[in-house]
Amino acid sequence: MEPTHEPGDVMAAAMVPPIVGRLDPSGAIAEAAGRARSLSRRALLAGALAGGIGLVVVPAGTSAKGSKAGDVAVLNFALTLEYLQAAFYSEAERRKALSADNARAARLIGAVERTHVAALKGLLGSDAVARPFFDFQGTTENDADFVKTAVGFEDFSAAAYQGALVHLGQAELIAGAASIHTVEARHGAWLRFLQGVVPAARALDEPIDAGAAMRLVDSTGFVRERPRTEAHTSPAFAG
Amino acid sequence: MRLDDGGPGLSRAQALRRGSAALGVVCVGGVCITGLATRAVSAGSRAGDERILNFALVLEHLQAAFYAEAAGSTAFDADVLTFARTAAAHEKEHVALLTRLLGAKAEEAPAFDFGDTTSDQAAFLRVATALEDLGVDAYNGQAANLGRAALAQTSRIVSVDARHAAWIRSLAGEVPAPEAVDAGRTAKAVMADIARTGFVQGQG
């Protein structure tokens, strides 16, 4: 595999949903979208901001840096990404539509992401955001879409953890976030290898901030509103 | 290389034998990293960051030299050679970044001897896997000890080292990400592993 330009670059740039373009005159979100370059075309086309969902985010440059409330927000951001990944891989396993290497990756990586969900929920206790509903729009049902979407998720999660690291206050949380960040980077490389693209395209990886990350998640259309029949005293997500 | 020998008149060899761990000294070959605690005493201090970044720099020098040599191998499969060449370029940039951050405080690279691990493919796969996994463990072991600015830089590096680890494991037919978390290890444990390789020249 020669380290050439990323095959998804051109496609991703063209696939930024129009609503994101209207919200993003400076192009910062489009640039972030370009980084999660392996999200499938169908997913990107399907997604306006799904159902008006705004997931709980840590605003860039939050002044709650280092405070417990700040750490809770960062951890919930991480938990949201883990919910997304865990659900994706779980569904891929259930669909049983993947070839051997991809199915194995879905099984092993999914188990790890589910472990991450459990760990973060354990840390957060009653402060944990609830699991959203997802619609992966067929991307778990064939090899090409699976691996492209999975690469997008993993690269993107790694970058998000990398961005979140420096916003955490407590030493144990920094160590924990670092220990997950590198696992997500491994996953990204693993899936890129399966996809046939260079597993490490650059000498240095860059972070993505939480705001851009959540807008990107929104733009995929994978996240759906909870059914209104669910009884919750407080909303799972802030707008 | 500076050596914190804990007292006047001790030879380097004597200092190394005398419970260097108690002095917070970790030495591999001629490279000694002083003052590393297994727990953060004052996380984010400038002196602490410098010690940690110099520790990272030793590891990156080791990897850079290893891959630079391997990149010239005539005995590797094409995809293994591509990995070696790409990793060589990346590690060179890692060395450059850490050196730039440390400025005048950057420690020199020691001399290395990799034996046949850069020319025999099976040995190369084994050692590359071990070095990349070790690098990840080393950085993660220090993450909570670093100031935010330094952590922001080292996380750019370790993210790529983790990719290298998964890549070489994929080439070797190993599970690319065997653990749910990459828990860190202490600098002492990492340097002990490095010392055991015998790659670093100028021991004792």
A128-187 residues touching B, CB cutoff 8 A: 158, 162, 165-166, 171-172, 174-183, 185-187
Which letter does DSSP use for residue B112 in this model? B
pLDDT at residue number B32: 58
At B20 the three-state DSSP class reads helix
Residue A195 C-alpha, separation from nearest chain B C-alpha, in angstroms = 12
Question: Residue B28 pLDDT > 60, yes or no?
Answer: no
Please state, in angstroms and as integers, the Cα–Cα distance from residue A91 to each residue in A79, A118, A136, B43, B180, following that order.
18, 18, 9, 42, 19
pLDDT at residue number A69: 78
Q: Is residue A1 less than 8 Å (CB to CB) from chain B?
A: yes
Contact by Cβ (8 Å): B85, B134: no
ipTM value > 0.85 = no
Question: Residue B173 pLDDT > 80, yes or no?
Answer: yes
Question: Residue B19 pLDDT > 60, yes or no?
Answer: no
pLDDT at residue number B108: 95
Lowest mean pLDDT among A29-33, A127-131, B2-6, B42-46: B2-6
Question: Residue A1 pLDDT > 50, yes or no?
Answer: no
- Split at pLDDT 50, 70, 90, the class of A65 is very low
pLDDT at residue number B44: 83
Across the interface, whether the CB atoms of A204 and B157 are under 8 A apart is answered yes
pLDDT at residue number A55: 31
Contact by Cβ (8 Å): B56, B101: no
With CA atoms as reference, the chain A residue closest to B135 would be A182
Rounded CA gap, B79 and B177, in Å?
20
- pTM across the whole model: 0.77
Q: Is residue A46 less than 8 Å (CB to CB) from chain B?
A: no
Question: Residue A181: what are its φ and ψ, rounded to 5°?
Answer: -50, -50
Token pair, residue B35, equals: 């003052």
Question: Residue B102 pLDDT > 80, yes or no?
Answer: yes
Across the interface, whether the CB atoms of B163 and A186 are under 8 A apart is answered yes
pLDDT tens track for A211-239: 888 888 888 899 987 654 544 455 555 44
Average pLDDT over every residue of A132-161? 95
A186-205 residues touching B, CB cutoff 8 A: 186-190, 193, 198-200, 202-205
pLDDT tens track for A178-213: 999 999 999 999 999 999 999 999 999 999 988 888
Lowest mean pLDDT among A205-219, B60-74, B107-121: A205-219
> What is chain A written as a DSSP string?
------TTHHHHHHT--HHHHHH-TTSHHHHHHHHSTTS-HHHHHH-SSGGG-------TT-TTTTSHHHHHHHHHHHHHHHHHHHHHHHHHHHHT-S-HHHHHHHHHHHHHHHHHHHHHHHHHGGGPPPP-EE--TTTTSSHHHHHHHHHHHHHHHHHHHHHHHTT--SHHHHHHHHHHHHHHHHHHHHHHHHHTS-S--SSS-----HHHHHHHHHHHT-EEPPPTTS--SS-SS--
At B189 the three-state DSSP class reads helix
Question: Residue A114: what are its φ and ψ, rounded to 5°?
Answer: -65, -35
pLDDT at residue number B114: 98
Across the interface, whether the CB atoms of B89 and A109 are under 8 A apart is answered no
pLDDT at residue number B3: 29
Contact by Cβ (8 Å): B138, B184: yes
In percent, the amount of chain A with pLDDT more than 90 equals: 53
pLDDT at residue number A89: 98
Average pLDDT over every residue of B125-143? 97
Residues of chain B with Cβ-Cβ distance to A183 below 8 Å are 162, 177, 179-182
Q: State chain B's maximal CA–CA distance in angstroms.
A: 54
Residue in A1, A178, A186 closest to B143 by CB: A178
Token pair, residue B58, equals: 């030793």
Task: Please give the angle made by the CA atoms of A40, B156 and B161, to the nearest 5 degrees.
Answer: 85
Average pLDDT over every residue of B17-30? 47
Q: Which of A117, A167, A182, A191 to mutate against chain B (most B CBs within 10 Å)?
A: A182
Residues of chain A with Cβ-Cβ distance to B132 below 8 Å are none
Lowest mean pLDDT among A16-20, A50-54, A160-164, B17-21: A50-54
Question: Residue B34: what are its φ and ψ, rounded to 5°?
Answer: -100, 155
Across the interface, whether the CB atoms of A205 and B165 are under 8 A apart is answered no
Token pair, residue A101, equals: 């290497």
